[in-house]
Copies of this chain bind each other. A is one copy, B any other.
Amino acid sequence: MKRRDVLGAAALLACGTSRAQTAPAFAAEDLQHAELLRAAGLQDTQAWAFVKELCDTIGPRPAGSDNERQAAAWAQARLTALGLANARTEPTPMKAWVRGPASATLVAPVTEPLVMAALGNSIAAPPAGIEAEIAWYTDFAALKADTTERAKGRIVFIDQKMARARDGSGYGPAVAARSQGAVEAARRGALAVGIRSIGTDHERIAHTGAMRYEIGVPRIPAFAVSVPDADRLAALHAAGKTLRLQLKLDAKSDVETTTQNVIAEVPGTDLADEIVLVSGHLDSWDLGRGAVDDGAGCAIVSAAAALIARAGRRPRRTVRVVLFGNEENGFHGAMSYGDRYKAVVHQLVSESDFGAGRIWQMKSRVQPAALPLIEKMASLLAPLGVAWPEQGANEGGPGPDAALLMRRHKWPAIGLAQDGTAYFDVHHTVHDTLERIDPATLPQNVACWAVTAWLAAQAPLPFGPAPL
């Protein structure tokens, strides 16, 4: 079945009559204004200026850190300077994890320091460190399938590989090794767990990221080594060598602190109480400077909202920029936002959190009756190189904070998929710096977001509830 047939059927279901007569439609002047925003977005310089200043003056912004708070104060002022209204910072308590010095050294069959990073939330190792034989697993499934005592008293190493893909689809199947590896290893009596970095590069850089423990399962230290270091271990293992590792890992957990969301708006008119939420997350991992993840996203949606604010027409609904706190390690910002605004009608939740590459696809998660509107929005993005897929167009999801809110509150969503082919080369590493953003790709993002937010604000019917 073709896309237009699906939509026709959806419209029929929703309205009980033929599409030509009843399909909801945007006002002509709203579409014209969208075209104006699109053209202006392609000339944007604000997104680059935003992310450059954020990275240059603050840099890494771990959840709950002073840097994250400094970034919030900076962003609130910046959003006001960009012409947005009601700029504010909404704090929420959290317990933070703080990295300390760490090292992992192969001590048999030869001695070799590995390039490594502790995973977020890892407990510290004892001060003297942990030294043990490695129990090597080809991937996370192999560890989960192991019913022997092989891991007991050893350091488990999971050589889980990740595939490169434009849509980042290699991440999901791989990341469980990072998030759940410690639990599965500890269940089998392991002393610590190491993983191949969840990333697509072949550099000697380690990818950090969140891991978690489970109540009732012993907590063991967790770390990632670079992909070439994992290849090194794999080669020695394949050669039949017995590998021994010495791990030193210092870290603090459960540090009482706060994170915060930064919010600013383009106030609506007749439907001002309804919210079109565009977002990014202001926190980042600590190893890089949070440029790609997610300074870029914060910059893009802020520049898009600024464009709407100064384009001469106020939207019907309120366009709200939210720069979430602590996306990376607990979603405290998103949960706090949901708690606070759960009674408010959300016409849209969306998030830019997949780097700075060009947007190539739009998907939605809206009530079927609104699909003709989404299709119209997609047609305005088509000249920017954005496709609306034949299949699964309304089975989309937004970035992670917005996805949490969509699921929790049935708030409708739009996802604008960026080209993430290179995203996982730098994700959660020391290479997440300004140099990894191509300033030339940002204006297309700003144009897409400005058109999307504007038309969502002007839509003649609600996008929600989200079909989940």
Task: Give the oligomeric copy count.
Answer: 2
B112 touches A60 (CB 8 A): yes
A66 neighbours in B (Cβ, 8 Å): 110-111
A228 neighbours in B (Cβ, 8 Å): 433, 435
Given contacts A204-B431, A430-B204, contact A67 B110 (CB under 8 A): yes
Could you tell me the distance between the alpha carbons of A350 and B248 in the complex, rounded to whole angstroms?
Answer: 42
B99 touches A101 (CB 8 A): no
Expressed in whole angstroms, the minimum distance between the Cβ of A295 and any Cβ of chain B is 14
Instruction: Tell me, yes or no, whether A205 is within 8 Å of chain B by CB.
Output: yes
Instruction: Tell me, yes or no, whether A287 is within 8 Å of chain B by CB.
Output: yes
A113 touches B56 (CB 8 A): no
Query: Which size bracket describes the interface of A in this complex?
Result: 20 to 34
Residues of chain A from 231 to 265 with CB closer than 8 A to chain B in the complex: 232, 235, 248, 250
Residues of chain A from 86 to 103 with CB closer than 8 A to chain B in the complex: 99-103
Expressed in whole angstroms, the minimum distance between the Cβ of A161 and any Cβ of chain B is 18
Expressed in whole angstroms, the minimum distance between the Cβ of A307 and any Cβ of chain B is 29
Which residue of B56, B111, B112, B286 contacts A235 across the interface (Cβ within 8 Å)? B56
Which residue of B56, B102, B111, B430 contacts A115 across the interface (Cβ within 8 Å)? B430
Which residue of B101, B113, B289 contacts A112 across the interface (Cβ within 8 Å)? B289
B59 touches A110 (CB 8 A): yes
Instruction: Tell me, yes or no, whether A364 is within 8 Å of chain B by CB.
Output: no
Could you tell me the distance between the alpha carbons of A112 and B113 in the complex, rounded to whole angstroms?
Answer: 23
Q: Which of A112, A232, A435 is the most central at the interface, judged by chain B CB atoms within 10 Å of its CB?
A: A112
A60 neighbours in B (Cβ, 8 Å): 110-113
A286 touches B113 (CB 8 A): yes
A112 neighbours in B (Cβ, 8 Å): 59-60, 67, 286, 289
A204 touches B205 (CB 8 A): yes
A100 touches B99 (CB 8 A): no
Instruction: Tell me, yes or no, whether A58 is within 8 Å of chain B by CB.
Output: yes
Expressed in whole angstroms, the minimum distance between the Cβ of A412 and any Cβ of chain B is 38
Expressed in whole angstroms, the minimum distance between the Cβ of A228 and any Cβ of chain B is 7
Could you tell me the distance between the alpha carbons of A56 and B234 in the complex, rounded to whole angstroms?
Answer: 12
For the A-B complex with A59-B232, A65-B111, A101-B250 known, give 4 more contacts whose Cβ atoms are closer than 8 Å.
A58-B110, A60-B113, A67-B110, A101-B103
